[in-house]
Amino acid sequence: MMDFATSRRTVALWLRNAWVPIILVVVALVSGGIITANHSDQFSPLDEWVYYDYTVKIPTQGVVRQGELIGHEALVGMACNGDSFGPRGEPCNDVQDINASYPQGGKTSADIYTPLYFVITWSLGKVIQLLTGAEFLTAARATGILWLAGGLLVFYRLLELMKVRRVVTLGLGLAIIGAPTTFWANTYISTDAPVFLVGAALLLAGVSAIKGRSSPWWLLPIAVIGILLKVTTVLALGLVVLALVLFVIFAKHETAWVAKRRLLIPVVVTVAAAGFAQVAWLLIRAQISLGAGPDQGLAQPLAWRDIAGMLALFIYPGPLSGNYDPLLRIPQIVGAPLVLITIAGIVAFACARFANPLEKSLAFSIVLASTLFAPLLALGMYLLLGDVFPVIERYAIPLLPAYLLAAAMIIKNRVAEWAVLGYGAFLVVFVTACSIAFA
């Protein structure tokens, strides 16, 4: 039987090895919890209204259909609390479900999503509501914090596998907790909430497979689940597939063909399965459709000048740009250093002297993804839908783990390491304090 002294040594050893992920998870839960609790009942302008409607319909409908009208509960929320544009629709004290008086004619635009994210949000939200006594809107928003905590754990393991120093991992992790991306994606109801986790998990699976630490077949379930959560996770899948293919090319004199085939076959199957999952959902969506969805006025004809202008979109402004709130109470400039860190990381990692084919394949795939994926996404929409819809910076959130990995790989100087840690700590404390002060 283990004695007390042995148990204490075991716990001490575990804490010495796990202090970084413990700090990141605790800070994410505390900071995210404070920020979420201090939000008003006003909806986020990033489609939270339709996401809330989808979530509350889960126990009665299970799925929201194209052309469907927004339900009573969400209509009351828009009429009484509104979003950043203020209350809209009917008078708050006389909501009679006259949908035509609301934005988008009172029709949902969330029908493009499978029910998976909303089932998870409703289920976890009910548990959080039961444990905390919070109203359901707040409890559902709090599920985003759990996605963030999971993403940070996977991100830590990824950087550990790439032998990044823990101080750098901690600094970058804290910076992500305090980033404007996280503010919108993980403290409101948002389909962007799980994509950082999915992006990190795909990259971890790819790196682990190359290093021989795990089977490349792990890519298959992660990719399919990711696609069903949000289709933009295909960007992370594309980056990982690109890295694996480039690794096979760059390692041609160092890796046997049998080992390369071990990587390539799961990659082909994974891409096919993810594509099949998305096509299957689109067919189901069309089959259960009630009619045309709302005309949001976003479609535009293909213009090659606009496509070319997207080459830098996923780098700058990039997924880390943006304001913390529409009233600009939290200065946007506090998040600017993180944008610069990622841009510098992408460029410097691509120009670095590579220690092995893995680093080279990662660097090249990150550069190609950050420049080509935005215009390719626009072209893909044009081929599928006949129109180009705006490609926005936050679509690149699945690429963030790769961007931050690139930055981490080039931070070698002790001064730079501690500067990143200091900045990350400042950012999360400042943003959390502002959320209390401006509540």
**10-residue block means of pLDDT along the chain (439 residues)?**
60 77 97 95 94 97 95 96 91 89 93 97 98 96 98 97 96 95 95 97 96 94 98 96 92 62 90 96 94 78 79 84 72 88 93 89 96 89 73 92 96 94 96 88
Q: Which residues have CB under 8 Å from 55's CB, separation 6+?
A: 118, 121, 122, 125, 140, 189
Q: pTM (2 decimals)? A: 0.94
pLDDT digits (tens, 9 = 90+) for 362-419: 999 999 999 999 999 888 877 776 667 788 899 999 999 999 999 999 998 999 999 9
pLDDT digits (tens, 9 = 90+) for 232-283: 999 999 999 999 999 988 886 655 555 677 888 999 999 999 999 999 999 9
| DSSP for 165-201, written as a single string | -HHHHHHHHHHHHTSHHHHHHHSSS-TTTTHHHHHHH
Distance, CA of 190 to CA of 168 (rounded, Å): 28
Q: 365 with 243: CB under 8 angstroms?
A: yes
What pLDDT shows up at residue 389? 74
What pLDDT shows up at residue 135? 96
Q: How many CB atoms lie within 10 A of CB 88?
A: 13
Nearest CA to 173 among 194, 198, 192, 155? 155
Distance, CA of 255 to CA of 259 (rounded, Å): 6
Bond preceding residue 59 cis, omega within 30 of 0: no
What pLDDT shows up at residue 54? 98
What pLDDT shows up at residue 333? 86
